[in-house]
Structure 1
Amino acid sequence: MMDKMIGFDDGSEEDFATLLEQSFKKNEGGKLTNGVIVNIKDDQVTVDVGEKVEGKINISEITLPDGSIVFKVGDKIPVMFNGYRNERPMISYKSAIKASKQKEFAEQNSDFETREIIVKGKIVKENKGGYIVESEDGLEFFMPRSQSGLKKDEKVLGKVITAAVIKVDTAENSVLISRVKLIREKQKAKKDAINEILENPQPLQATIKSVASFGIFVEAGGVDGLVRYDEISFKGPINPVNSFKVGESVYVKAISYDKEKNRVAFSIKAAASDPWDEIRDELEVGDTVKAVVSNIEDYGAFLDLGNDIEGFLHISEISWKKNLKHPNEVLKVGQELTVEITEIDFEKRKLRMSLKKLLAKPFDSFKQKHKIGDVVSGKVLNLTDFGAFLDIGEVEGLLHNEDASWSRDFKCKDSFKAGDTLEVKIIKIDTEKEKVSLSLKELADSPVAEFSKTHKFGDVVNGTVRDIKDFGVFVELGHNIDGLIPNDELYPRKKEEILKGDKVDCVIVNIAPESGKIRLSIKRLQKEKDREAVKKFNDQSDESSFSNDLKDRLGS
């Protein structure tokens, strides 16, 4: 509330009548009288005013702007008699007209105490007591310094002011005016208007005076104020520049008053019913609603549900596509959508929605159309250290480095770039994790396939230990051809004694050309060796026994 108006220094208790008399004091003998024009010659007009010598005025005093002369010889005119100079009367027609107007004004406004009289004029002179103010029609008023409301050091000559009449002296035809009185009356009127507006529970019609990004300036009930950008809509902060124009009418309600800024804060929201209260019993999580896209940002879209309710659709809830980079790839402003309510916070006035929840899962559709072993076309989306992700239509698939080439050192990021199109084979569909694994190398002949043409089960091979894993030892049998000796097939060798680069003899126990895998065994080779040793020993034992028997028979 306003409880204090701007104060002014009243100074000492001045005698306004004295100031009035000092400011408008005339020269002794100054009076209004009538005269008769007796001669007009060149730029001089001679006037008989009843004195021994005629007075003279400049012809410009009776000449109109168009050059015509108002009077002629013989005409009677009013003049102001201001004394003598070398026995010649000093007279002025303009001063007489001015004095007549001054007198007329004083007489017409002598009832100044019963009504408010407002005048407007320019400060033309300054003296110790105050200021002389002259109106457009030549009237002069005196404004005491204490009634001016002007700063002491302020440059005031030429300043146009508006003031109220506070005293009229009809005897002297002088008028005293006060700017302070008018300012205080305006302040009081504004204070009363503000108090009335603050106490008024009803919405007020306001006119927009100015629009800025931070709010709109309005005038309501004679009071100016600001509607901040966050007091406009229940949707949240908005940029008023996009929604309002100067001169438009809006309904507002006063919500606070800033004494320091002398400004009322208005609210458009407070003047309307809260739409969130209206939907409290109508909407709940899981409901589907129709909404219109009102704004699109990098991180999602805002949807208008109507009735000043707005919800947020995060980019992750727009589509099942994982590579959606911007909402405008799918949405556009003004588009109508059917969405599902996923979160409602009535206290914070926040509402979240999902579009993809109402769409069929791409993975389910993919499973119905494809199976392991299918060959599909895919576009490279992005590359990583371990492989490449491909868009294979409705879902993404992973092409791991080891499935991209039969070469063990192959890296997808060194051979492909985003946007490349590849023909790949589906080698795994993980329903639980909704992941698809792809292979490029299975569409090409493997080195193992060539190896299998010259090698078979049971062949003994010699290789070099290339790598040692927890589950076994990889042995290199040729370029890009490895065989695995599982831990349980290493006997009689001890794993901890085997080093990379060691040469080992082993036997082939399985070749899978389609997967490029070879299974080896030292254990089986050792068994073969043991079997051959036993057989040889047995053969030798049988031969010795036969020889001994023959000798016995011959010797008998």
Structure 2
Amino acid sequence: MSIEQAVSKVSQVAEGQGTGVSDQDVMLSAEEMDRLYADTLRNLDEGSVVEGRVIEIYPNEVVVDIGYKSEGHISKSEFSEEEIQALKVDDIIHVYLEEREDVNGNLVLSKEKADRMKVWDAIEEQFNRSDVIEGRIISRIKGGMTVDVGLKAFLPGSQIDLRPVRDMDRLIGQTIQVRIIKMNKKRGNIIVSRRVLLEEWRDRRKKVTMDALKEGEILEGIVKNITDYGAFIDLGGIDGLLHITDMSWGRVTNPQEFMNVGDKVNVVVLKHDKETGRVSLGLKQLTPDPWTTVGTRYPEGTRVNARVVSITDYGAFLEIEPGIEGLMHVTEMSWNHEVKHPSKIMSVGDTIEVQVLKIDEKNRKISLGLKQLGPNPWDDVETKYPVGAVVSGKIKSLTDFGAFVGLDEGIDGLIHISDMSWTKHVRHPSEVFKKGQKVEVVVLKIEKERQRLSLGFKQVSEDPWDSDIPSRFPVGSFLDGVVTKVMDFGFFVELAEGIEGLVHVSEVDLESGQRLDQVYQPGMSLPVRVIKLDPAERKIGLSMKAVSADSPLEAAPAVNAQPAPGNAMEEALKSARKKGKKSTESPEENA
């Protein structure tokens, strides 16, 4: 029996009609009616979407019957304007059952939530199928963007593009293709990605490009990224490296000055490693190599105008033409060797005339010179500064082994430390000279090819060993001296400034077992006697024993008492010294 039949029977009994229905039947019918009523609520679970029939449309709400004991009221704000205009009484719509009875006993329904549940179901199917869907970017939020895909979804910043997007605000309002990568229906979270689609598209393009790529092939690409060492070029799904050295035959110091991100460029494939997927590209290879004809266009000795492109401590690089650079060493800038740094005479960007000195086509090197544009002062050095001449100059620098003297523009000479004094042991040139000091020197030797000039300072004065020392310290003379150094074989005694003699251990009376350093100490004054004089070897032999000897010493051989015979050099030096003195005393006569 249906509920309608049971209600009809109850009505007949109430009206007193003779229906033959007993009280027991009526009671059974009431029980049956309760069962049938419960059956109508069996499928009405809270949180489910059910069908309902529109029974009334009021200005602010719509009344819907879902077959429950009471109707539900839904606000018109949950309908779109188009839906309200098309809605009619008896229309069947889907609604969401929030509560069968609220605190007031009312049935609570929602059209908006039902629509959302339907969209969730559709999105879940798209997620399961990994569909590509469209969405409109509606706002920017922390960490990414909000995208409308039927429901609001989150697009993380890292999933917008293959590379970080700096200005995300410009994307608002755009419709893009995305894929759902994660969702949680209970929490209402949907996460989408555009990057996964771009990666798939890139991989497809990469495979096509890799299969067709050949070394030597010329391709068009787009500058994707620029670094200090080069630029990455997008060839269509695959990136190739255009190294800075392959951008131009000339010097490229900064790739960003040569090209910009987004530029279209033609490049040639230099190398393609299929195993690693690396591609090396070249740009300069599209034009002829200028070095192949550099020898015929710029032969050695040619003078050309060149632009300074770089300056280092050791020289400067100059560009003769795009792709052709040469090095001018600092020693090729001036004859006088006074250029301490190239920046003192030239600057980057200067255009100057230079001379090609040497070309090495194999190693792509060109040596350039600046000083060669003027006369070489060493060409007539032998005439201007002959050996034996006394000349004047200025101390330019001091080293451990000597002092450099500037004589003329481009001519420097060296006074070796051994040529500074006849008698004094010079430990460092600073004991004799100061930088900037004016000196007179004698030209000792000229090496024109090596551009070297040997000078002597002690040679300006006569050698005291020629006559002065033999006359002051003859053999047999008694002298007082000061001990300067004690050795195992003897000790040295200073007789005058810069003049020392040796007292050999055999010329000292020592007791058995005594050592020299136990009796004699540096600084001790004592009497000695000259027993030997050798001007040739510049040696004086002294004795302690002979001081107390009664008999006179025999005269030393003539060779020991007199200086060694002179030679051509000594005669030249004597003549030069005389001329130097005469020039110093009467400069007017030499004018």
TM (normalized to structure 2)?
0.52
Cα root mean square deviation, aligned: 5.7
Deviations 1:83-123 (A, max 9, x none): 69548776433246558989999xxx9xxxxxx9753599x
Aligned to 2:148: 136
Cα gap change, 1:500 to 1:136, in 2 (>3 Å): same
User: Residue 377 in 1 paired to residue 397 in 2?
Assistant: no
Aligned to 1:504: 556
Aligned to 1:81: 95
Cα gap change, 1:461 to 1:117, in 2 (>3 Å): closer
Give the aligned length. 409
Q: 2:232 aligns with which of 217, 232, 235?
A: 217
Gap regions ≥5 residues in structure 1: 1-26, 65-69, 110-115, 123-133, 142-146, 152-156, 164-178, 466-475, 483-492, 518-556
Aligned to 1:308: 323
Cα gap change, 1:355 to 1:494, in 2 (>3 Å): closer
Deviations 1:470-503 (A, max 9, x none): xxxxxx9986689xxxxxxxxxx999xx995177
1:461-480 alignment runs, 5 A limit: 462-463=474-475
Cα gap change, 1:391 to 1:460, in 2 (>3 Å): closer
Letter in 1 for 2:111: Y
Distance 1:464 1:249 in 2: 101
CA deviation after TM superposition for structure 1 residue 462, in Å: 2.8
Distance 2:52 2:476 in 1: 136
**Secondary structure, aligned partner of 2:284:** coil
**Secondary structure, aligned partner of 2:285:** coil
Percent of aligned pairs sharing the same letter = 24
Distance 2:301 2:571 in 1: 53
1:340-351 alignment runs, 5 A limit: 340-351=355-366
1:408-427 alignment runs, 5 A limit: 408-416=424-432, 419-427=435-443
Distance 2:231 2:541 in 1: 81
Q: 1:334 aligns with which of 324, 344, 349?
A: 349
Aligned to 2:503: none
Distance 1:417 1:47 in 2: 118
Gap regions ≥5 residues in structure 2: 1-46, 138-145, 154-177, 183-188, 478-493, 501-532, 543-554, 576-591
Letter in 1 for 2:541: G
Please say which of residues 391-400 and 347-356 is displaced more in the overlay: 347-356
Distance 2:52 2:233 in 1: 54
Aligned to 1:550: none
Relative contact order (alpha carbons < 8 A, sep ≥ 6): 1 or 2 greater?
1
Cα gap change, 1:328 to 1:237, in 2 (>3 Å): same
Q: Given that residues 390 and 397 in structure 1 are in contact (C-alpha distance below 8 angstroms), is that contact kept between their aligned partners in structure 2? A: yes
Distance 1:416 1:103 in 2: 103
Distance 2:76 2:415 in 1: 108
Q: 2:207 aligns with which of 179, 191, 194?
A: 191
User: Residue 289 in 1 paired to residue 304 in 2?
Assistant: yes
Aligned to 1:55: 72
1:3-14 alignment runs, 5 A limit: none
Distance 1:99 1:149 in 2: 17
Aligned to 2:403: 388
Distance 1:199 1:350 in 2: 29
Distance 1:302 1:329 in 2: 15
Letter in 2 for 1:255: L
Aligned to 2:163: none
Distance 1:323 1:369 in 2: 21
Deviations 1:511-545 (A, max 9, x none): 9999689xxxxxxxxxxxxxxxxxxxxxxxxxxxx
Q: 2:192 aligns with which of 133, 145, 160?
A: 160
Deviations 1:42-81 (A, max 9, x none): xxx55345867332346874699xxxxx989x99999533
Please say which of residues 284-293 and 80-89 is displaced more in the overlay: 80-89
Q: Given that residues 460 and 508 in structure 1 are in contact (C-alpha distance below 8 angstroms), is that contact kept between their aligned partners in structure 2? A: no
User: Residue 94 in 1 paired to residue 126 in 2?
Assistant: no
Q: Given that residues 391 and 397 in structure 1 are in contact (C-alpha distance below 8 angstroms), is that contact kept between their aligned partners in structure 2? A: yes
Letter in 1 for 2:312: E
Aligned to 2:12: none
Q: Given that residues 388 and 413 in structure 1 are in contact (C-alpha distance below 8 angstroms), is that contact kept between their aligned partners in structure 2? A: yes
Cα gap change, 1:300 to 1:499, in 2 (>3 Å): closer
Cα gap change, 1:499 to 1:400, in 2 (>3 Å): closer
